[in-house]
Chains A and B, each alone.
Chain A
Amino acid sequence: MNSELLLQGIASGLLIGGVYALVAIGLTLVYGVLNIINFAHGALLVIGMYASYFLFTYFGVDPYLSALVIIPLLFVIGGLSQKIVINPLIDAPPHVCVFVTIGLGYFLENFLAFVWSPEYKNIEVSYVRSIISLGEVTIPVTRLITFILALLLTLALYLFLKKTDTGKAIRACAQEKEAAVLMGIDTKRIFVITFGIGAACAGAAGAFILPFFYLGPYVGHTFLLTAFIVVVFGSMGNFWGAFLAGLIIGLGESIGEIFLPSAMKEIVSLSIFIIVLFFRPSGLMGHP
C-alpha cells in the first residue's frame, strides 16, 4: 500500500464529503423540523443538476454561478411541494409521509425523464482539466471549487439559522413544536420555509457537482441513499452532525474504493450505516 494513493484517496474523499454534507444537511433539517424522511430529496438534487445543465448549454452560464438562480428556484419548488402534498399529511403516521415523498420523488424524476429523455449527459466547462498539485496529491480544480462552495453554503445556512428571526423560529420548531406554537410562531409557514431550504440545499449541491458528475433523471438515488446514511450517522436532525458525518462517509467511500473493486464501493458506506443503526442509532452526536 503506497502512501501516495492513500493521501490521494483522503483528499478526494474529503472533497466529495463536502457535497454529501450539504445534501445531508438539507435532509436532516427537514427531518428535524417536520419529522419526516424526505425520499424526494434525491429528485430535488437532480432538478438542480438539470437546471444548471440547461443554463450552461443554452445560455452559457457557468454551473457554479447558476446556483444563484437554482437556490431560489428549488426553494420555491420545495416550498410548493410541501404546501401541496406534504402539508395535508403532517399529522399522519410516519409511514404515510414516507410514501407521499416517495410518490413525489417518482413524479419529479420521471417528469425530467419525460421532458428531457432518460439518457445520461454531461457538460464540459473550460477548466475541467485544470489541476492543482500539492506534493504527490493532485486535486482537480472543479472538485476544489465545489468543496469550497458547499462549505460556504453550509456556513451561510448555519448563520441564517443562528442569527435571523426566521432561523431562530426554525430551530424552535425543531426543538419543541408545541412551545413554538405557544410563542406565536406560525409553524405552517416554518414548515414550508424549511422544506424549501432543504430543497435548495439539494439543488445547490446538484449544480455544484455537475462539472464533474454525469447527469440523468435517476442519478439522485445514489445521493439519496448516501444522504440517509450521513443523516443517521450524524444523528437525525443534527446540523453539524450531518456535516461531520458527510466528510467521514466521503472519506470511507474513497478509501474503500482503493481496496475494493469499484462496483463494491457502496458496501463500505452501507456497512457503516448498518453498524451505526445497530450500535448507535442515535448517531455521532446523539445520546445513546
Chain B
Amino acid sequence: MKSAMFRFSYSKIMVAAALLVLLSLPLYTGSYLMHVVIIILFFGYLGACWNIAAGYAGQISLGHAIFFGAGAYTSTVLFLKAGVSPWIGMWLGGVSGMLLGLFVGYLTFRYGLKGHYFILATMAFGALTKVIALNLDAIGAAQGLIIPFKASFVNFQFTGKTPYYYYILFMVIGIVLVCTAVERSRFGQILMAIREDEDAAESLGVNTFMYKLLAMVLSSFVTGLVGAFYSFYIGYIHPDTLFTPFLSIQITLIPITGGLGSVFGPIVGSFILSPISEITRGFLGKFSGLHLMVWGVVIMLIVILIPKGIIVEIQERLRPKPKTGEDQSL
C-alpha cells in the first residue's frame, strides 16, 4: 500500500529520470557539489537501513550509529593491522554490525522492551559503546585512527571523488531494491503487522520476537556494510564522530522527513535534509552554535508540520479521494 504511488507510470518515469541524472552527474559537476551529493546519498542509505527496523517493524532505535561505527572500525582495523582490502572488510564490517545488532536486538526483544523503553535501551547501548571505544587502545581509543592515503583500487582509495560517488550510488540502488523486496514479501507484511499492533500479530500466531530480531539483524547488517565506505572516503575515524548520539539522531531524522516505512522516503528525506545541514554548516558554521540552532528549528518544524514525512503526505494528496455518499448522489 505504501508504494502505491510508484505503481503510477509517471512515478516510474520520475524514478528513471532521477536515476539518469544521478548516473550522469559526474559529467557536469564540480568537486564540491559531488561531495554534497555523496553525503546526501550516504545519509539516504543510512536512513533506509534504519527504516527497515523502525519504519517497517516499528522499532525506533536511537543507537544505530553503533552498527555503522562497528562496520567502519572493523574494516579500518583489519586494513591497518592485517592489510585486508576494504572490499573484503566492508562485508566483515557488515557482519560485525549485524552481530552487534543481534546482541542488542536479542536482549531488548527477549525482555519485551517496547516504545519508550526500547528507545532508551538503544540509546544506552549507543552511549556505552562510545565510552568503551574511547577507552579501547586496540582501536586507537581517543586518538582515533588515520588511514594513510595510498591510491589504489584494492585499497579503496581514489584520487578523485567519482569512484566514491558511483560506489555509494550503487549502494543506494542496492538498498532500494532490498527495501522493495522487503516491502513486497510476506516478511515485510509481517513486520508491518507488528508495527501496527504487536499483540494482535502475536495472537495470530506470529513469532514477533523472531521477526523483530530478523528486522534488526538485516537493518544492522546493511548499516555496518557502509562503514568501510565512510572510513576510506574520509580517511579518519574517531569514536566522537562515529558513535555519537548526534549521528544516531541524524540517521533517524532522514526517513522521518521523507516518510517512515516507504522505500523512497529515506532517499527523498536525505535530499531535503542533508543539503540543509551542509549549507547551514557552510554558511553559518563561523558563528558557533548557529547552524545547530537552525537544525533544531528544522527538526521541530518537520515533526510538527509533516509528522508522516513528505512521501506519505504527497501520496495521500495524490490518491483519489474515496467517493462519499454525497459524490455518488450527484
Cross-chain contact A232 with B120 (CB below 8 angstroms): yes
B300 and A103 form a contact (CB under 8 A): yes
B127 touches which of A102, A225, A236 (Cβ 8 Å): A225
A273 within 8 A of B: yes
Contacts of B303 in A (CB 8 A): 89, 96, 99-100, 103
CA distance A163 to B214 in the complex (A): 51
When the two chains form their complex, are residues B116 and A274 in contact, meaning their CB atoms are under 8 A apart? no
Check if A118 sits within 8 Å of B117, measured CB to CB: no
- Docked-complex contact B107 and A278, CB < 8 angstroms: yes
Select which of B115, B120, B128, B299 is within 8 A of A267 by beta carbon: B128
**With contacts A95-B119, A102-B299, A114-B293 known, is A270 near B113, CB below 8 A?**
no
- Contact yes or no, B131 A85, CB < 8 A: no
Other-chain residue from A88, A114, A264, A278 in contact with B131 (beta carbon distance below 8 A): A264
Interface contact B304-A100, CB-CB below 8 Å: yes
A217 to B289, CA, bound (A): 9
Considering the chains assembled together, what is the distance between the CA atoms of A114 and B124 in angstroms? 29
Instruction: Give the distance in Å from the alpha carbon of A164 to the alpha carbon of B120 in the complex.
Output: 33
Which residues B93-111 have CB closer than 8 A to chain A?
107-108, 110-111
Q: Which residues of A contact B152 (CB under 8 A)?
A: none
Check B289 against A110 for contact (C-beta < 8 Å). yes
Q: Is B296 interfacial (CB 8 A cutoff)?
A: yes
Partner of B297, one of A95, A99, A107: A107
Asked if B121 contacts A274 (CB within 8 A), the reply is: yes
Kindly state whether residue B79 has any CB partner on chain A within 8 Å.
no
The verdict on A151 contacting chain B, using a C-beta distance below 8 Å, is no
Is A134 engaged at the interface, CB distance under 8 Å to the other chain? no
Main secondary structure of the interface of B (DSSP, over half): helix
Does any Cβ of A come within 8 Å of B256's Cβ? yes
Q: Are A99 and B296 in contact (CB under 8 A)?
A: no
Does B211 count as interface, using CB distance less than 8 angstroms?
Answer: no
Which single residue of chain B is at the shortest CB-CB distance from A100?
A: B303
Q: B125-139 toward A: CB 8 Å interface, digit per residue (1/0)? A: 101100110110000
**In the complex, which residue of chain A has the Cβ closest to the Cβ of B289?**
A113
Q: Decide if B270 is an interface residue (CB 8 Å cutoff).
A: no
**Contact residue among A37, A100, A104 (Cβ-Cβ distance under 8 Å from B116):** A37
Specify which chain A residues have a CB less than 8 angstroms from the CB of B253 in the assembled complex: 99
Q: Is B5's beta carbon under 8 Å from chain A?
A: no
Interface size, B (range): 35 or more
The answer to whether residues A228 and B300 also contact, given A95-B60, A111-B293 and a CB cut-off of 8 A, is no
B299 engages A85 (CB within 8 Å): no
A112 CB–B CB distance under 8 Å? yes
| A 71-94 binary contact with B (CB < 8 Å = 1; else 0) | 000000000000001001100101
Query: Are B131 and A266 in touch, CB under 8 angstroms?
Result: yes
Chain B residue contacts of A217, Cβ below 8 A? 289
A101 to chain B, nearest CB (A): 9
CA A269 to CA B229, docked complex, whole Å: 34
Known: A103-B297, A277-B124. A112 touches B135 (CB 8 A): no
- In the complex, whether A263 has a CB less than 8 A from a CB of chain B is yes
A220 lies within 8 A of chain B by Cβ: no
**Considering the chains assembled together, what is the distance between the CA atoms of A288 and B253 in angstroms?**
33
Bound form: Cα–Cα A217–B293 in Å: 12
Q: Contact between B117 and A106 (Cβ–Cβ < 8 Å)? A: no
Q: Is the CB of B128 within 8 A of A279?
A: no
Q: Is the CB of A117 within 8 A of B304?
A: no
> How far does the alpha carbon of A273 sit from the alpha carbon of B297 in the complex, in Å?
31
User: In whole angstroms, how far apart are the Cα atoms of A271 and B124 in the complex?
Assistant: 9
Within the complex, the shortest CB–CB distance from B148 to chain A, in Å, comes to 28
A98 within 8 A of B: yes
- Please report the C-alpha to C-alpha distance between residue A105 and residue B125 in the assembled complex, in whole angstroms: 21
Report the minimum CB–CB distance from A265 to chain B (whole Å).
Answer: 9
What residues of chain A lie closer than 8 Å to B124, measured between beta carbons? Answer: 228-229, 270, 273-274, 277
A281 within 8 A of B: yes
- Report the bound CA distance from A106 to B135 in whole Å: 27
A267 and B131 in contact (CB under 8 A), knowing A99-B253, A103-B303, A107-B300?
yes
Roughly how many angstroms separate A229 CA and B127 CA in the complex, as a whole number?
12
- Give which listed residue, A106, A114, A281, contacts B299 with CB less than 8 A: A106
A113 with B127: CB separation less than 8 A: no
CA distance A88 to B299 in the complex (A): 14
Task: Judge whether B289 and A118 touch: CB under 8 Å.
Answer: yes
Cα(A108)–Cα(B125), bound, Å: 26
Kindly state whether residue B252 has any CB partner on chain A within 8 Å.
yes
B288 at the interface (CB under 8 A from A): yes
Q: B288–A114 contact, CB under 8 A? A: yes
Residues of B with C-beta under 8 A to A107: 293, 296-297, 300
Residue of B nearest to A97 (CB): B303
What separation, in Å, do the CA atoms of A261 and B256 have in the docked complex? 39
Q: Which residues of chain B come closer than 8 Å to A98, judged between CB atoms?
A: 60, 62, 116, 119
Q: A107-B297, A228-B124, A270-B124 are in contact. List 8 more A-B contacts (CB 8 A).
A: A94-B119, A99-B253, A99-B299, A106-B299, A111-B289, A114-B289, A270-B131, A278-B111
Could you list 22 examples of A-B contacts with CB < 8 Å? A37-B120, A85-B304, A89-B303, A89-B304, A94-B119, A96-B303, A99-B256, A100-B303, A102-B249, A103-B297, A103-B300, A103-B303, A104-B296, A107-B300, A109-B289, A109-B296, A110-B289, A228-B123, A232-B120, A270-B131, A274-B121, A277-B108
Chain B residues with CB under 8 Å of chain A are: 54, 60, 62, 107-108, 110-113, 115-117, 119-121, 123-125, 127-128, 131-132, 134-135, 245, 249, 252-253, 256, 287-293, 295-300, 303-304, 307
Pairs of residues from A and B, 4 with the lowest C-beta to C-beta distance, nearest first: A113-B289, A103-B299, A107-B296, A106-B296
